[in-house]
Chains A and B, each alone.
Chain A
Amino acid sequence: MKTVLANQPAIAARPLARISQRFLKPFESSRGSSRQLISRISRQSIWLLLILSTAVFAHASPHFLTGYNLSSILLESASIGFLGIGMTFLIGSGNLDLSVGSTVALAGVLSVSLLPYGLSIALLVTLLITSLVGIFIGVLIRVSGVPSFIVTLAAMMALRGLVFALTNEQSISATDDQFTNLGSLSLGPIPAIGVLYLALTLVAHFILTDTVHGRNTIAIGSNVSVAESVGIRAGRHIIANFGMLGFLAGLSGISLAMQMGSATPVLGKDYELWTIAAVVLGGTRLTGGLATVIGTLAGVLEISVLQNGMGLLNVPPFFVYIVLGGALIAALLFNRPINYRYTHSPAANTPRL
């Protein structure tokens, strides 16, 4: 697992230094820096937690480790997982988006109601609109200078209201069977939506770690003014990240609507909270400057495993919230070395040039 650190964009300017840095990386922890060792372990703690909870549920329920159940876990991960990918970039750049749940509902409702114009048109137009919604939110944040928390809170309410108005508070049914069939499509035993999610995670991991956009995103999250002073155009990257999250929220809404063959105005309720929880559990720093898509994958899977496993054990649903809340607090405490190392010392926030 590779995590992008704040000092990488500067290194990117010098390919040689970057290569040597990458080459030396495996030896870092063996050099004996205890701080680095702690942060390495703590960044992987979510994987340990995931393995632990899988083992516990496998032991407790004979139905947990069955092909059907594992593929349902993956399928159910995908809807929050799509959002988690985009949210990782956004939180990595020091922003937050609370409107994703409403965008999911908008996407579900749009895709189903546009079906009479043809399947591909419905899907393309929906994705286009949700991407534009994301871009619009990003522009609004840059132009107004109001924190993303407030702007996206407003967007969350406005979009949810819009969805209720569009649907007249009712669920709408897909008129095209192909749409529903796509939702239950599977590649061998693995649901296609889950495969798409895993593939997108890999692509996003590559974008975050190995492209200028990814590294600049992290630099912006680490310190906007420093990033801008070295010539990074923060606005572009932030708007692009909002656009990307809008696109992914579109995918999430479409995939949910496909699974139900219909869309309801309450689709994606609380998804923003689950998504942020998954990203933070995964080890991305909530204040930006440190992000990992692979960690988010583990966070998303952990949430799904907990929900699924506790469901199989017949545990009342509110316990899932209690356990997840506890896990989140534990993750934050455990990640303290990562979360506060940079923010506490101003010198460390400056990329080494």
Chain B
Amino acid sequence: MKLLFADLILFVACITSAMGQENPSWLLRTPLKKPVKDLVIGITQHNAGADGYGSAYEKAFRAYAQQLGVQTVVLDAQGDPTKQISQIRNLIAQRVDAMIVWPVSAKGAVPLVKQAHEAGIPVIITNSEIDASGVQYTACYSGPDVYKEGQTAGKLLGTALAGHGNVVVISGLPGYASSILREKGFSDLIQAEYPDIKILATEPGNWNREKAQSIMEDFLTRFGDKINGVYTASGDMGVGALNAIRSAGKQPNIKIVDAALFKDVYDAIKAGTYYGSVEQSPVSDAEGALRAAIEVAEGENVPKKIYFDTPPISAENIANVTAPSF
């Protein structure tokens, strides 16, 4: 009899822990439209295979889905906008409960996102925003606030230069929202809070390390010792700038800051050759999108824009940050 009682307690304990697993604590709506384990969430990614951020994102997405017990259909557009529209059709045909779209082309995805919306399937945009003409057909955007990333980088560089000096800017690929907004966030903040910092020049580095290196070489020839700081829209380009500054022998004099932490930047900050960066975690990105998709599928109201935290990184707090895998 005693044994039976113990068994019963164990059984109840199992049930409650299983229930805890089934219903994430942030899912406030009761009763749920559907048990979480019966939900099917589809995703079409930009290019998981080609870059480190994308593959870390996919890994985190799958792990979080498994943890929550939700079923997923994970597709990868491999950087091809036509493949992405065919994948959205595919997810509509499967009647998923919600779909997450990481737009390859901000404009190209709009007609199919509209079709999904009309078919009654909510669409969550992840990582980078869809064109303004398509926002009305989406449930929400979940991802980084790239404008704020630019501002955070501006604050870092302002602190590094103690509010005085000349900086040069290497932006991303022209026409890309994340490039434009990271640059705007940076220059707006510098203008508003550090009137004694002057932006000497801005050139697009196309997200490319080698391009950024040659731009930085040009800057050094043009402005020489006038440059006190550099801002690049991504860590990869920051490393390019660092290489150019090193070869010119100006390394300790010029402070470098970027708006997206990469592994090489992490190492350089630790080594003291690089001032600071902004952490954009693919794990937060993936988990935020899946959580939003589940909430939307269950019928909860979510804000139109859900941003995850993108904190500043410098020598001060680098010890508490896990190194990025890319």
A and B, one complex?
yes
Residues of A whose CB lies within 8 Å of any CB of B are 61, 63, 66, 68-69, 72, 75-76, 79, 168-171, 173, 180, 183-184, 256, 259-262, 264, 266-267, 269, 307-308, 311-312, 314, 317
In the assembled complex, the Cα of A210 lies from the Cα of B119 at a distance in Å of: 44
What are 9 sample pairs from A and B whose C-beta atoms fall under 8 A apart? Answer: A68-B119, A72-B86, A72-B90, A171-B107, A266-B80, A267-B81, A307-B86, A308-B86, A314-B73
Q: A260-B81, A264-B105 are in contact. Are A312 and B111 (CB under 8 A)?
A: no
Contacts of A269 in B (CB 8 A): 80
What does the 1/0 interface line of B75-107 toward A look like (CB < 8 Å)?
110111110011101101111000000000111
B96 to chain A, nearest CB (A): 10
Which residues of chain A come closer than 8 Å to B76, judged between CB atoms? 317
What residue in chain A is nearest B176 (Cβ atoms)? A170
Query: In the complex, are the beta carbons of A173 and B86 less than 8 A apart?
Result: no
Given contacts A68-B119, A171-B108, A260-B108, 7 further A-B contacts (CB under 8 A): A76-B89, A170-B174, A173-B131, A259-B85, A260-B82, A261-B107, A312-B94
When distances are taken between beta carbons in the complex, the residues of chain A under 8 Å from B189 are none
Question: How far does the Cβ of B295 sit from chain A's closest Cβ, in whole Å?
Answer: 23
Bound Cα distance A6, B257 (Å) = 69
Q: How far is the CB of B117 from chain A (nearest CB, A)?
A: 13
Chain B CB within 10 Å, residue with most, of A262, A267, A307: A262
B268 at the interface (CB under 8 A from A): no
Known: A76-B86, A171-B81, A311-B87. A261 touches B111 (CB 8 A): yes
The answer to whether residues A264 and B87 also contact, given A170-B175, A173-B131, A317-B78 and a CB cut-off of 8 A, is no
Distance A226 CA – B172 CA, assembled complex (angstroms):
59
B161 on the interface (CB 8 Å rule)?
A: no
B173 interface neighbour in A61, A169, A264, Cβ under 8 Å: A169
* Contact residues in A for B106 (Cβ distance below 8 Å): 171
Give complex CA distance A256, B85 in Å: 10
Cα of A79 to Cα of B89 in the assembled complex, Å: 15
**Which of the four size classes fits the interface of chain B?**
20 to 34
A308 and B89 alpha carbons, distance in the complex (Å): 9
Q: Cβ of B78: which chain A residues have Cβ within 8 Å of it?
A: 317
In the assembled complex, the Cα of A276 lies from the Cα of B73 at a distance in Å of 31
Point out the residues of chain B lying under 8 angstroms from A169, CB to CB.
Answer: 173
Q: Which residues of B contact A170 (CB under 8 A)?
A: 174-175
Known: A173-B131, A266-B79, A266-B80. A168 touches B92 (CB 8 A): no
Interface residue B110 (Cβ < 8 Å from any Cβ of A): yes
Question: What residue of chain B has the Cβ atom nearest to residue A257's Cβ?
Answer: B108
B159 close to chain A: CB less than 8 A: no
Contact assessment for B90 and A312 in the assembled complex, using a CB-CB cutoff below 8 Å: yes
- Taken together as a complex, chains A and B put the C-alpha atoms of A68 and B110 apart, in Å, by 19
Q: Contact between B93 and A69 (Cβ–Cβ < 8 Å)?
A: yes
Assembled-state Cα–Cα distance A68/B112 (Å): 13
In the bound assembly, the distance between CA atoms of A261 and B90 in angstroms comes to 19
Contact A262 B92 (CB under 8 A): no
Closest to A184 in B: B111
Mark each residue of chain B from 103 to 134: 1 if its CB lies under 8 Å from any CB of chain A, else 0: 00111111110010001000000000001000
User: Closest CB-CB distance, A39 to chain B, in whole Å?
Assistant: 35
Residue of A whose beta carbon sits closest to that of B111: A261
Cβ < 8 Å to A, chain B residues 167-188: 173-175
Decide if A260 touches B111 in the complex (CB within 8 Å): yes
The answer for the CA separation of A260 and B173 in the assembled complex, in Å, is: 22
Bound together, the chains give a CA A61 to CA B90 distance in angstroms of 12
Query: Which A residues are in CB contact (< 8 Å) with B93?
Result: 63, 66, 68-69, 72, 308, 312
CA distance A307 to B92 in the complex (A): 15
- Residues of A near B115 (CB, < 8 A) are 184
Given contacts A63-B93, A171-B81, A314-B73, contact A260 B105 (CB under 8 A): yes
